[in-house]
Structure 1
Amino acid sequence: MLVLAAGYAARTVRAVRPEQLERPTPCAGWDVRMLLTHLEDSVAALCEGLILGRVAAGSDAHGPDGGLAACPLGREPVVPRVSDALEVLARAAGRGPGARSAVPVDGVPLRAALLRRAGAVELVVHGWDVAAALDGGDRRPPPPAALAAALLPVVPLVVPPPAQRGTLFAAPLAARGDAPPGERLLAALGRRCGPPGPPFG
């Protein structure tokens, strides 16, 4: 699941052009550059958990002990940095702690399987966020049905209640009764997709 999610996000990230980095995204107050930087940090934390078996508080993707230490980060632009980081994550997703193993996250044990699923939710939804920003509105098709269907049961386990979500995951929206899994996944996290609409911002 995490490998598929990383691939989905990577395809979106690779499509970003420099002039699109300041476009607004569905995450209130966040432009594409800010969201990619957030994704880079999230991927670094996931790699740290899968490769090193723990996620420390304030993990630094660029530090010597960071989970992405093998990734050529340096001073590259954010798009190739995040794309490379997602490739590292896809390779790491199939190894590391077993599903039932506990991975300390800021000192709190979390099952490795749940860490992978939480990461998959974030990568898929924020991958869609970037794609929607590039399209200039909510006209982007939803994530793949099979992947979204696998992630829907995970959302209540890994996403905070609406009052605690901040700006990255908004309050849930009502979805059509016959909505495909991708549309329902987005609605659960405050996103709307479908026919062309007004641009964000």
Structure 2
Amino acid sequence: MNRPLRSGTPYRRRAALIAGAVALVLSATLAACGSERAGDGGQPSASRSAVAGADKLPACPSTPSKPPTTNGLPDVSLPCLGSGPDVRLADLRGPLVINVWAQWCGPCRDEAPYLAELAKAGTVKMLGIDYDDPRPELAVKFATDEGLTYPHVVDRDKAIQRALKIGGPPLTAFIDSDGAVAFVHRGVLTSQQQLDQLVEAHAR
């Protein structure tokens, strides 16, 4: 009468051992998945690190907060392409030349030497806006290759489009000492003389 019970006991023990082993395997598998998720979770922070070469660009300046001015730049803040804080455009005062460009824009390359020469002369403050540009690493390369030795910010979402009526780059805006947009040149700059004359006439 008792034999079936005794014969059944080893089976119960084996079943318990098997269940325990399965539980161990499952816990190890879940732990491994958890470590993979943690690793994946750390990946975006690495991808958010600074774009290679961005440290070679001039840092964006820290500007004191000012009230928006009549006919001034839009009240939007844009991140720096290089190092430095975000730049609130409404805080900027001239004389200032703002050039809107993108690394994919052929005419932007054509006019870049004139902007580089103006920056080298040091007669006026300058700011570049990398506009509607999905490739920040190529934008950094463009700015460094072309010798654009002034700060640049990024407007990937076209936040300034309406305020400056931008159809597309290039566009160059001239800001006076009160912060008003004195003049906007739409399209490519065709000579150093043309740029110098625009600065003389509108960036005071």
Q: Same fold (TM over 0.5)?
A: no
Normalised-by-shorter TM-score class: under 0.3
Relative to its length, the structure with more strand (as a share) is: 2
Q: Which has the higher contact order (CA 8 A, sep 6+)?
A: 1
The alignment's TM-score, normalised by the length of structure 2, stands at 0.23
The alignment's TM-score, normalised by the length of structure 1, stands at 0.23
Relative to its length, the structure with more helix (as a share) is: 1
